[in-house]
Amino acid sequence: MKYTPHTRAVRFLSGLFYFFSIFIFINAFNFQHNPPGAWRQQHVLPIGSRGISDITFVDSLTGFAVTPYIANDTAFIVKTTDGGETWFESLKGPTNTIGGFSRIMFLDVNTGYACRNFLWKTTNSGQTWFNVNTSGIFPENMFVLNEDTIWLTDTEGLTGGVFRTTNGGTSWVRQLSLGSFNPNTIHMLNGKIGFVSRSNSSISIQNIRKTTNSGESWFLVSNLGDDFTSMYFSDSLNGWKAGWQRIMYSVDGGIVWSMQILPSGGNIEYNPIFKISSVGSDSLWGVGGVAVFGPSSIARGILYFTSNGGNNWSYQLPDTSIRIGQYFLLDFVGRSKGWAYSNFRPTGIHTTTGGDTTFTSVRQISDILPGDFILHQNYPNPFNGSTKIRFEINHGGTVSIGIFDITGKKLVELVNKQFTSGQYEVDYTTNENSSGVYFYSLSVDGIVLDTKKMIVLK
């Protein structure tokens, strides 16, 4: 485009309008409550300042939440019957006898299970709970198919593994043992097909395993099998998994996984995805991302949403008076009623109408001045084919973005031109580079300011 005094004036006025729009939005975001029907703040008062390790809703009114294990502390199962507006104790006791909790699941409004070190069951909607025999298993996670068939994971190296009962806990059979790599995450599609992984482990090898014969045998998935924290299958072939850094999709029953692109750019500082919840065969929600606003870099948790199976993901910025920096827990009942909660403190949000306005990713990102020269981590990373690199500069200059191999040889110069202050994003696409470690650097006026590592994985 040819720049004239007229076009420069238009760009200046557009930028000025955009700046004030952002300013107004941030102030509204920080100080105003949502109107009724969007996202509303909720608090789980009975558990004090404790965090929440899991949450589930049976219907639009009835839900349960659990607190994690903390040594010498009190563990809670709490219940709501008004959609999360108020909560009351369902089970309470010291962690050395209760065990704390990492997971809670309900089969219906009356029958539910909670676990960590012990397995607890209720048959009267949480009025009373009792221990289910686990024969020396100390469950980290569980998946309940019905009252007879229950799966447990135990991460203890010698006696742990993946266990199954088909008689409600009378007896258990160990279906998989991996020693120090014993799984802590499990998802079963049905009685025969399921997945396990060692989520959030330090190992970098493939670590998702699948069974198609009720755990009699397991095999590693064929690609990008890092781990999963949450999984959903709409049928026996089409499924999604959330890992610590990405959302992936499979069309062949979980053998091969392909990465889907989450929104990035703009105010989005960090975009992992920890938990997904389905509201239909192609509609899913996710939580984990963080957006940053204002000169004080105030963090706000964001929610992801797709209505077409992940071909396009958008996001929402819940407008609440309490600043929740990140959401870890999520559950939806139908398309419009959902909850997203922090796991660090007993607070979250609730919608009855599907939330707020959704937004997509931003390319020209901001006219607000960054506080320094910043080179962000590329996303996705690792990547195969294409990735995005975002950078910020606090004054104008000649900006260069270079790509280097592991020996320091420059492979390509993505950018080498004048930029004004602001935040920008460039795409890097390559089909020539083999799998391995590469580097990219930010230089302004000939001075190298930062260098980061990225990984090509084919």
Look at residue 254 in the predicted model and tell me its pLDDT: 86
Topology (CATH level 3) of domain 40-351: Methylamine Dehydrogenase; Chain H (2.130.10)
Look at residue 132 in the predicted model and tell me its pLDDT: 97
Q: Which of 139, 86, 80, 82 is nearest to 113 (CA)?
A: 139
Low-confidence ranges of the chain (pLDDT < 70): 1-37, 200-206, 222-226, 244-245, 266, 294-296, 320-322, 360-372, 407-408, 447-448
Secondary structure of the chain in HEC code, one letter for each residue: CCCCHHHHHHHHHHHHHHHHHHHHHHHHHHHCCCCCCCCEEEECHHHCCCCCCEEEECCCCCEEEECCCCCCCEEEEEEECCCCCCCEEEEEEEHHHHCCCCEEEECCCCCEEEEECEEEEECCCCCCCEECCCCCCCCCEEEECCCCCEEEEECCCCCCEEEEECCCCCCCEEEECCHHHCCCEEEECCCCCEEEECCCCCCCCCCEEEECCCCCCCEECCCCCCCCCEEEECCCCCEEEECCCCEEEECCCCCCCEEECCCCCCCEEECCCCEEEECCCCCEEEEEEEEEECCCCEEEEEEEEECCCCCCCEEECCCCCCCCCCCCEEEEECCCEEEEECCCCCEEEEECCCCCCCECCCCCCECCCCCCCEECCCECCCECCEEEEEEEECCCEEEEEEEECCCCCEEEEEEEEEECCEEEEEEEECCCCCCEEEEEEEEECCEEEEEEEEEECC
Look at residue 37 in the predicted model and tell me its pLDDT: 42
Look at residue 429 in the predicted model and tell me its pLDDT: 83
Look at residue 145 in the predicted model and tell me its pLDDT: 98
Look at residue 200 in the predicted model and tell me its pLDDT: 65
Look at residue 22 in the predicted model and tell me its pLDDT: 34
Topology (CATH level 3) of domain 365-456: Immunoglobulin-like (2.60.40)
Look at residue 206 in the predicted model and tell me its pLDDT: 56
Spans of all domains in the chain: 1-32, 40-351, 365-456
Look at residue 6 in the predicted model and tell me its pLDDT: 42
Look at residue 322 in the predicted model and tell me its pLDDT: 65
Look at residue 286 in the predicted model and tell me its pLDDT: 95
pTM of the predicted model over 0.85? no
Give residue-wise pLDDT tens across range 228-251. 889 999 888 899 999 766 788 888
